[in-house]
Structure 1
Amino acid sequence: MAKIGIYGSSFDPITNVHLWTASTVAHRCKLDKVILLPCSSKRKDKRLKTEDEHRWNMLQLAIEDDSRFVADDHEMKQDAWNIYTYDTMVHFKKKYPIDEVYFIMGADLLVDIAKGEWAKGRELVSENKFIVMAREGVDMLSTISRSAILRNNDDGSTFHLVDKGLAMEISSTYIREEFAVGGEPKYLLPTSCYDYIKKHGLYS
């Protein structure tokens, strides 16, 4: 039985922090595989700057040398944004029926679930396991204990709390902004992705 983490983001573009986070989680939580899951471009809560083709190509370039990482376009290819994280986890648990599947998220999203801001949040928490990455200003244990949804579905193994030990919050937004004004974010993302962005004139 393998241990698999599902790591979703817009990856617009993928950054070295995305990769460092995935690597840290894989190492600390003894994951056999991390599935990087680019979100649908049809999400109402995100305004993506890049065509799906480019996001997908950069993701493939970024992970080609690490056998632990796998890209999956399950959410990207949805016809409309009518799928929730709960449904995504149902999909992957069916795809990997004999494995342990974890949803990887930041502590800020844990707060949102606690506030009831996620569709099917109660079902999501009651039926899945999570790897939660620390975020500055968020007390993960306190967040769980203050939320009836979270604390009543925590059997001691529901939430694996991880502090990376180093605050690196370089965002895709920052990188896009740097490219847009002629900045130099070269060492904030994989060299192959930097070269791809330059070649295709993305974010300018």
Structure 2
Amino acid sequence: MKSKDGVLGVMGGTFDPIHFGHLRLAEEARQALGLSRVRVVPAGHPRHRDQPCTSAEDRLAMVQLALGDLPQFELDDSEVRADLPSYTVPTLERLRSELGSQHALVLLLGVDAFLGLPSWYRWRELFELAHIAVATRPGYSLNEQHMGEALRSEFHHRACARPERLAKRPAGMVASFAMTPLAISATSIRAILAQGGSPRFLLPDAVLDYIQQHHLYGN
């Protein structure tokens, strides 16, 4: 399914496994920012964190199950199928090629990821390809004091206090949106499974069923 109209959100990640925290972030971004859809992009071989505990194919299958037939979300399997190192700039370049130079794109990030942008591959080019929307929650606000000089300069130049303005331009602005705090993480889910516990109600039933059927995470 391809988004052709409206503002498209883009959410990447390892999703090892995908859980309700991921889905809630995407849904709250969609509502707060006026996104028509959110494209979910599982990383094939991520370069900014430890390597996933499960294969790219398993993580892709779990995301597909989690999204089900939800019309507001789209699964993008390009990074997994490419079997190459996953970097955000080439992904956004591909989306630009697919959707055109004037389509508004919004990259969805958490605060920690945004603060770490200067360590990303070709990070300044992100602003040429998409807007960036940062999910904030209590204790994790978007504070310039926590930014390095280079990121602070970009943020000061691009900060947007009115999310509805994102639709007016294809890229280049930074906005934030509040996210309901959910104490759910893939790390804690993996730990629960490794100890023989049940993470039910932390992730979709279909994803948990897949984990159990394929004996993932020591289950």
- Say what the alpha-carbon RMSD is for the aligned residues: 2.2
123, 131, 134: which one aligns with 1:132:
134
- Partner of residue 57, structure 1: 61
Deviation, structure 1 residue 78: 2.8
Conserved 8 A contact 2:8-2:38: yes
Alignment partners' CA distance in 1, 2:129 and 2:41 = 20
- Partner of residue 176, structure 1: 190
Deviation, structure 1 residue 155: 6.5
Query: Identity over aligned residues, as a percent?
Result: 28
Q: Which amino acid in the other structure matches residue 162 of structure 1?
A: F
Q: Which amino acid in the other structure matches residue 118 of structure 1?
A: W
Alignment partners' CA distance in 2, 1:177 and 1:191 = 18
Query: For residues 26-37 of structure 1, what are the structure 2 equivalents within 5 Å?
Result: 26-37=30-41
Gaps of 5+ in 2: 167-172
Alignment partners' CA distance in 1, 2:92 and 2:71 = 22
Query: For residues 186-201 of structure 1, what are the structure 2 equivalents within 5 Å?
Result: 186-201=200-215
- Partner of residue 24, structure 1: 28
Change (3 A) 1:176 1:36: same
Change (3 A) 1:111 1:94: same
86, 91, 96: which one aligns with 1:88:
91
Change (3 A) 1:84 1:51: closer
Residue correspondences, number: 200
Q: Which amino acid in the other structure matches residue 121 of structure 2?
A: A
Q: Which amino acid in the other structure matches residue 156 of structure 2?
A: R
Alignment partners' CA distance in 1, 2:160 and 2:192 = 44
Conserved 8 A contact 2:111-2:136: yes
Deviation, structure 1 residue 193: 0.7
Conserved 8 A contact 1:125-1:150: no
Q: TM-score, normalised by structure 1?
A: 0.88
Deviation, structure 1 residue 44: 6.6
84, 100, 109: which one aligns with 1:105:
109
Q: Which amino acid in the other structure matches residue 200 of structure 2?
A: K
Q: TM-score, normalised by structure 2?
A: 0.82
Alignment partners' CA distance in 1, 2:115 and 2:140 = 8
Q: Give a deviation string over 1:1-52, Cα, whole Å, max 9, x none.
A: 4110010011111101111111111111111110110012363732111122
Deviation, structure 1 residue 135: 4.6
Deviation, structure 1 residue 139: 3.3
- Partner of residue 152, structure 1: 157
Alignment partners' CA distance in 2, 1:12 and 1:169 = 16
Conserved 8 A contact 1:3-1:101: yes
Gaps of 5+ in 1: none
Q: Which amino acid in the other structure matches residue 159 of structure 1?
A: V
After alignment, is 72-81 or 143-152 more displaced?
143-152
Conserved 8 A contact 2:159-2:175: no
Q: Which amino acid in the other structure matches residue 190 of structure 1?
A: P
